[in-house]
Amino acid sequence: MSLKDDINYVKEELSSDEKLLESAFRLEKFYKKHRIKIWALVGAAILGFGGKAGYDAYRDYKLNQANSAWLTLQKNPADQAALEQLRSNNPALYRLYLYDRGVKKRDTAKLQEVKGSSDALLADLAGYHIPVLASKPGDSKYYEDLSRVEKAYLALKEGKKDEARRLLALIGENSPVAGIARLLRHGTLK
Give the pLDDT confidence of 128-173 residue by residue, as tens digits.
Answer: 888 888 888 888 888 888 888 888 888 888 888 888 888 888 888 8
Cα–Cα distance for residue pair 105/101, rounded to 1 Å: 6
Asked if residues 161 and 139 have their Cβ atoms less than 8 Å apart, the reply is: no
Asked if residues 145 and 128 have their Cβ atoms less than 8 Å apart, the reply is: no
Half-sphere exposure of 133 (CA within 13 A, CB side): 17
State pTM to two decimals.
0.67
Confidence band, pLDDT 50/70/90 cuts, at residue 1:
low
Cα–Cα distance for residue pair 20/13, rounded to 1 Å: 10
What confidence score (pLDDT) does residue 6 get? Answer: 66
Over residues 91-109, the pLDDT tens digits come to 988 998 989 898 888 888 8
Confidence band, pLDDT 50/70/90 cuts, at residue 78:
confident
